[in-house]
Amino acid sequence: MKLIGNELDKIGDEIYNLAQILEDSESKKILATIKLYLDVVEDKIDDLEV
């Protein structure tokens, strides 16, 4: 499970990097939404580990 969490962190970092590059505000909103969903998945995985 820790490996999955680490990979999700990497994905989150890449989403953040993409958002910094993009100039289109709509694209940034989409990436922000994806990041929020990713955070929820990460929290659910953390809950499974307990």
Convert the pLDDT of each residue in 10-38 to its tens digit: 888 888 888 888 888 888 888 889 989 99
pLDDT recorded at residue 16: 85
Give the C-alpha separation, 42 to 7, whole Å.
10
- Model's pTM, two decimal places? 0.70
Is the pLDDT assigned to residue 49 strictly greater than 80? no
Give the C-alpha separation, 25 to 47, whole Å.
33
In this prediction, residue 50 has a pLDDT band, given cuts at 50, 70 and 90, of low
Could you tell me if 12 and 38 are in contact, meaning their C-beta atoms sit under 8 angstroms apart? yes
